[in-house]
Amino acid sequence: MALCVTTAAAQTAQPYPARPIRFVVPLAVGGALDIASRLFGQKLAESFGQQIVIDNRPGAGGIIGADVAAKSAPDGYTLMMASISHTVLPSMHRKLPYDIVKDFSPTSLLVTFPFLLLVHPTVPATSLKELVALAKAKPGQINYVSSGNGSTAHLNAELFKSLTGVKLVHLPYKGTGPALVGFLAGEAGMGFYSVSATLPHVKAGRLRALATTGAKRSPSLPDLPTAVEAGVPGFETGSWAGVLTPAGTPKPITDKLHRELTRILQLADVKERLAAIDFEPVGNTPEEFAAVIRKELVRWAKVVKESGAKVD
């Protein structure tokens, strides 16, 4: 027994991290959250000298992955890349298998980013006004893609419907990547995606960008108007990516993760890569990130109620 106690004590005393870290991404490969996770995971691996294993757990708009992370041991060896979806889902579902506030410890909000409002080239609309006119002329005949019920793409489209009075049909997929594949194949006419996930397709003409949902124009597509400029007042939205750990993760570990992540945000090559895909660096404190999550929960509860968005 004494040997067991000594061994356990020795393991506890090991400097963190002493083994590979799992980084849960609650969406499929290819989306903005996945891209951010791989960028920061690579840099954490370099600084920690330990492997960061990206664990994509798509499904249910982010619920499945979040549930996996919430039920993991609070020892610093499971991280989750959260997004705005996780503050939308509580308003879309009567009951979730986890509580985004009580079951997680915030580490840092890393980046914010806008979306592009995109259409497939087969859709005969080259501006946002033309798309609205087309959708009104053909109610219920244009599909839009999303990564699942309650995802940001779903809610963005519902908000768009509410602001413009158009009728669209929701086509949910199990993840951002699969939804993009379907979108590119012409299975849906429109969708909302990050610059990071779709810029090559836009430049190649496989998708047509009509507007950015940000407050300002995209540095990557400076000629593209904002949705407000293009004629939809009040349509300004975006997303974010930040790291959470299971609730109860020791503060020294959270503090170390925070220091490393904010240090990584200051690296010149990271700044350059973020700027190239319209990611705006943030890097706030755990307390500030917790305040953002609480504020977003209230904000999206109001949007969900006013837009009439619901789980299909």
Tens of pLDDT, residue by residue over 132-150, are: 999 999 999 999 999 877 7
Which of the two residues, 12 and 259, has the higher pLDDT score? 259
pLDDT for 2 equals 42
* pLDDT > 70: percent of the chain: 94
Residue 119: strand pairing partners? 190, 208
* pLDDT > 90: percent of the chain: 72
pLDDT for 14 equals 77
**128 domain residue, yes or no:** yes
CATH code for the domain in which residue 189 is found: 3.40.190.10
pLDDT for 293 equals 97
Last residue of a domain, one of 212, 230, 248: 212
Regarding whether 76 and 149 lie in a shared domain, the answer is: no
pLDDT for 11 equals 45
**225 domain residue, yes or no:** no
Q: What is the dihedral of CA 151, 232, 35, 174, to 10 degrees?
A: 30
Last residue of a domain, one of 169, 195, 212: 212
| Tokens, residue 223 | 């000629």
Regarding whether 107 and 248 lie in a shared domain, the answer is: yes
Regarding whether 203 and 156 lie in a shared domain, the answer is: yes
8: pLDDT strictly greater than 60: no
pLDDT for 256 equals 97
Regarding whether 208 and 135 lie in a shared domain, the answer is: yes
217: pLDDT strictly greater than 90: yes
Mean pLDDT, residues 251-264 taken together: 97
Distance separating alpha carbons of residues 69 and 79, to the nearest angstrom = 7
Number of domains in the chain: 2
Domain that holds residue 39: 17-113+239-307
Q: Is 204 helix (H, G, I), strand (E, B) or coil?
A: coil
Which of the two residues, 304 and 258, has the higher pLDDT score? 258
Regarding whether 120 and 107 lie in a shared domain, the answer is: no
Regarding whether 109 and 24 lie in a shared domain, the answer is: yes
Regarding whether 165 and 29 lie in a shared domain, the answer is: no
**9 domain residue, yes or no:** no
Q: Is 293 helix (H, G, I), strand (E, B) or coil?
A: helix
- Max Cα-Cα span within the chain: 78
CB atoms within 10 A of CB 6: 10
Regarding whether 72 and 103 lie in a shared domain, the answer is: yes
228: pLDDT strictly greater than 80: yes
Regarding whether 60 and 74 lie in a shared domain, the answer is: yes
**3 domain residue, yes or no:** no
**71 domain residue, yes or no:** yes
Distance separating alpha carbons of residues 107 and 149, to the nearest angstrom = 26
pLDDT for 6 equals 41
| Residue 238 host element (H or E) | none
Mean pLDDT, residues 26-53 taken together: 92
CB atoms within 10 A of CB 183: 27
> How is 238-296 classified by DSSP, letter by letter?
-EEEEEEEETT--HHHHHHHHHHHHHHHT-HHHHHHHHHTTPEE----HHHHHHHHHHH
Distance separating alpha carbons of residues 134 and 283, to the nearest angstrom = 42
| Tokens, residue 290 | 């917790």
pLDDT for 17 equals 97
Nearest CA-CA partner of 93 in 59, 63, 117: 63
Mean pLDDT, residues 293-312 taken together: 81
DSSP 226: B
131: pLDDT strictly greater than 80: yes
Regarding whether 108 and 122 lie in a shared domain, the answer is: no
195: pLDDT strictly greater than 50: yes
Distance separating alpha carbons of residues 192 and 305, to the nearest angstrom = 20
Tens of pLDDT, residue by residue over 87-105, are: 999 998 889 999 999 999 9
**224 domain residue, yes or no:** no
Which of the two residues, 304 and 119, has the higher pLDDT score? 119
User: C-alpha angle 39/41/43, rounded to 5°?
Assistant: 75
Q: What is the dihedral of CA 38, 43, 49, 51, to 10 degrees?
A: 0
Mean pLDDT, residues 209-221 taken together: 93
**5 domain residue, yes or no:** no
Residues constituting the chain: 312
DSSP 279: P
CATH code for the domain in which residue 74 is found: 3.40.190.150
209: pLDDT strictly greater than 90: yes
Last residue of a domain, one of 212, 228, 260: 212
User: C-alpha angle 284/111/200, rounded to 5°?
Assistant: 170
Regarding whether 170 and 99 lie in a shared domain, the answer is: no
Tens of pLDDT, residue by residue over 262-295, are: 999 999 999 999 988 889 999 999 999 999 999 9
Mean pLDDT, residues 149-169 taken together: 88
The answer to whether 183 touches 217, Cβ cutoff 8 Å, is no
pLDDT for 310 equals 66
| Tokens, residue 175 | 């993840």
The answer to whether 37 touches 28, Cβ cutoff 8 Å, is no
pLDDT for 148 equals 78
The answer to whether 211 touches 227, Cβ cutoff 8 Å, is yes
**Average pLDDT value for the chain:** 91
**157 domain residue, yes or no:** yes
Regarding whether 205 and 145 lie in a shared domain, the answer is: yes
